[in-house]
Amino acid sequence: MSDVADVQKEIVDDFAMFSDWSERYQYLIDLAKALPVFPEELKCEANLLKGCQSQVFVHFAPRQDRLEIQAISDSSIVSGLISLVLRVYNGLSMADVIATEPSFIDGIGLSKNLSITRKNGLAALVARIKAEAALRVG
């Protein structure tokens, strides 16, 4: 779990380099551009995340005891947020996914600087990831 804590600290440190939220939003947009391509065939109703104002698709591909996650949004800022969430949760064991709280959200000030709809969508994504891991814990 210390690796996960280190990743979250790195995210907080990355955002600390920026002096204002316009720069941080630009960084989120840049992160969105670096997301892997999300296959068109996975953009279906079954993968559509409920609770988001933007369209968000999330697909899970468990590999042994690890949760592999792909996700994308039609919004650049939301895709940047997805990138951060994937950085924390992608590839973790199911138990670590369930146990990991996204402390980076408060650490970089997202709670205070996101619109209510984006906060709700971010919470819905994290909840969906944790629920998927919980389904797969034997």
Rounded Cα–Cα distance for residues 28 and 104 (Å): 14
The 3-state DSSP class for residue 60 equals strand
Rounded Cα–Cα distance for residues 136 and 134 (Å): 5
CB 8 within 8 A of CB 107: yes
Exactly one of 49, 52, 56, 77 is catalytic; which is it? 52
CB 12 within 8 A of CB 108: yes
Task: Say whether 52 is catalytic.
Answer: yes
Which residues participate in catalysis according to the annotation? 52
